Amino acid sequence: MVLLLIGVMYMITYMDRTGISIALPFMSRQLGFGETAKGIVFSSFLWAYAIGQIPAGWFADRFGPRLVLLIIVPFWSLMTVMTAAARGVVSLVVMRFVFGLAESGAFPTATRGMQLWFPGSERGIVHGVTHSFSRFAIAVVPLLAVSIIAAFGWHWIFYLFGAAGLLWSFAFYGLYRNLPEDHPNVNLSELAHIRGCNADGAIKPPIDPQKRQQTPWRTILRSPNMWYIAAGYCCFYYGTYFYVTWFPTYLTEYRHLSLKAMGALASLPLFAGMAGDILGGTLTDAVYRKTGRLKFARRIVAAPAMLASGACLIPAGLTHHAGTAIVCLTASLFFLELVISPAWAVPMDVGGEYSGTVSGVMNMAGSLAASVSPIVFGLLVQRGLWVMPFYISAGVLLTGALIWAFLIDPEKSVVSSVEPPGAF
């Protein structure tokens, strides 16, 4: 039930942040701004999203996921609704910036929540499942948003998507508790599975998220492993953000597909990405259970997947056939999404009770890198260079593969120098 709740929230976050990619061509014609301005609109969300990551992760560690999510989800849902009231590019950028600040806490807070509710052997698959919900959202948004526009106009994308977040908040309030120990429907057998048992058979006690602990900021921020993890996620997030922002425009304006065809074909890479999310989480957990080698289990999935993803972008850029390009881009996102489960499991592996803060640092860096992607694409497209962004992304993904293969160490804590591997 908890996994379903968090998965639906992930879906709503991406509905709210990607609906604008379908509405923006209509908004730009009505409000009067060009391609570079579109890139700035896309990136304004990510600038704020990056700024809010570390504070949000810290709040989740200190006050618990339940309180944080019950504040931020209704607020960003209201900001989604307010986006329909934009009267120009300046007001739109401001609204997307505030929206990004509110939504920045979603994933770090959820990561802390999942750490409290799931055992270490399931960290890969739970992130695979939740992120598959987000990719499902990106996949269905083009179809759903095109239908909404045809029936009611582009404003209603924001009205309906915002309402979904408000409804989710009521369900979350009634069904979620910070600790399994506090939930009336959790029995001793389930609790033992989540917490594990000591040598005497007693269930291990939880680390209360509302305990007032001192966050080891200096240790986290001075850890080389922390910044390797952040750099790897920068490469991943840069590669994925094309699909969230420019992909529909690429299909209609460069590949000359109709709006109806775009609505259908834009979903294909995201459905492949959903499969990649689940498969990546399943593989990394299975390898870990079989070998007991956490570093190997995370690296063996992430590094080859990033390399394969980058390789698929080269023919996508070279081909003159729209169908071939879509197949290559679909394969690229499938391989890239294999990385998401190891990437988000690692903050749990190395962060312990501060996993919200650690995942916030990682996601902040990734968001800053991703914010560059739509601007680079917009600047190059404005000069007629539709293919060059794919080559740049391929180079970024190659770099990410090398970082994962040789630098990221999921067995090395970033919050302490004394915890042994597997302590979390």
The answer to whether residues 309 and 245 touch, using CB atoms and an 8 Å cutoff, is no
CA-CA-CA-CA torsion sign (340, 50, 85, 247): negative
CB of 319 closer than 8 Å to CB of 424:
no
> At residue 44, what is the residue type?
S
Distance, CA of 73 to CA of 78 (rounded, Å): 9
Say what the pLDDT of residue 236 is: 95
Measured between alpha carbons, how far is 45 from 244 in angstroms, rounded to an integer?
A: 12
What are the tens digits of pLDDT across the range 167-213? Answer: 999 999 999 998 888 888 888 888 888 887 776 666 777 655 555 56
Stretch (H or E) spanning 358 = helix 355-382
Q: What is residue 410's three-state secondary structure? A: coil
Q: Side chain identity at 47, as an amino acid letter?
A: W
Query: Which pLDDT tens digit goes with each residue over 70-128?
Result: 999 999 999 999 988 888 888 888 888 999 999 988 988 998 889 888 887 888 889 88
**CB of 118 closer than 8 Å to CB of 126:** yes
Output the pTM of the full model. Answer: 0.79
CATH classification number, 2-180+218-406, choose in 1.25.40.10, 3.40.50.300, 3.30.70.3340, 1.20.1250.20: 1.20.1250.20
User: What pLDDT score does 420 carry?
Assistant: 38
Segments of 323-402 assigned E as strands: none
* CA trace torsion 389, 390, 392, 397 (10° rounding): 140
For residue 197, the cross-strand partners are: 203
Query: Lowest mean pLDDT: which of 54-58, 92-96, 205-209, 287-291?
Result: 205-209
Are 240 and 46 a contacting pair, CB within 8 Å? no
Task: Please give the Cα distance from 413 to 346 (Å, whole number).
Answer: 10
Q: Where along the chain do its domains lie?
A: 2-180+218-406
For the chain, state the CA radius of gyration.
21
For 13, 134, 226, 351, 421, the CA distances from 417, given in Å and listed in that order, are 35, 35, 13, 12, 11
